[in-house]
Amino acid sequence: MRRWTVRDVMTDDVVAVPEDASYRTIVDVLAERGISAVPVVDTTGKVVGVVSEADLLFKVEFAGTAGQRRFFPHRRRSPREKSEGRTARELMSAPVMTTGPGTGLHAAARLMAEKGVKRLPVVADDGSLVGIVSRADVLKVHLRPDEEVRRDIVDEVLRRTLWLDPSEVHVEVEGGLVALSGHLDRRSLAELTVRLVGSVPGVVAVQDHLTYDLDDAELARSRWDRSHPFSATGPSA
């Protein structure tokens, strides 16, 4: 079953600025490209930080207040320190969290949520910048047409993964919500079908109306109880 990755949704026409880019240059880049942040790269092209609109706004917030320009390259800077920044090196947020083009969308979304960031620079194995992925990009998976999602469920899950005859499971998709109905031979197969369908890109939720002949989950538990030495019905009971 095909897995959607960062490569499928990222923006590869990405702009970056060098560490010595001026405050005004960064503002111009954001305005011209209609973006809210820009990666900062060193002389080898590796990503070393990100400057966002939030970083730039500190200069407006603290305008006219007295301050002292002291910058320490190896620690996070306070808002007041950033308000005194003149170059990308002094303004950027670092260290920066990055991801790879082969990262799954679930993992990228989890990383953004855990770190509280709105975007991730996408880097190659050598650390060079190849794109950027945002929260909006990750959500593109849920813009897939319902018919396309249904086709993946039928072809990739039912036919190729589970080797089921699609006529055994009726699939309806509306707004990413999947309804499954039909009759299978085992409970474990029905539960596996629901889990795999839920992992298809674009699926929001799964309504399970599947029925089955054999409750093999109960059978497995019964066998465990009879064979496990510490169970109430085990050999030592």
Whether 225 and 232 have beta carbons less than 8 Å apart is answered as yes
Q: Which residues of 154-164 are buried (b: 16+ CB within 10 A; e: fewer)?
A: eebbbeeebeb
Name the band, by pLDDT with cuts 50, 70 and 90, for residue 169.
Answer: very high
CATH class held by domain 6-139: alpha beta
Instruction: Render pLDDT for 209-236 as a digit per residue (tens, 0 to 9).
Output: 999 999 997 776 666 555 656 555 555 5
Are 6-139 and 144-218 equal in CATH topology? no
Is the pLDDT at 131 greater than 60? The verdict is yes
Strands (DSSP E) found in the chain: 17-18, 37-41, 47-52, 119-123, 129-134, 169-174, 177-186, 205-214
CATH class held by domain 144-218: alpha beta
> Rounded distance, CA 90 to CA 51, Å?
10
pLDDT of residue 20: 95
Domain ranges of the chain: 6-139, 144-218
pLDDT of residue 56: 87
Is the pLDDT at 42 greater than 90? The verdict is yes
Q: Cα separations (Å) of 194 from 10, 172, 189, 191, 234?
A: 29, 13, 9, 5, 33
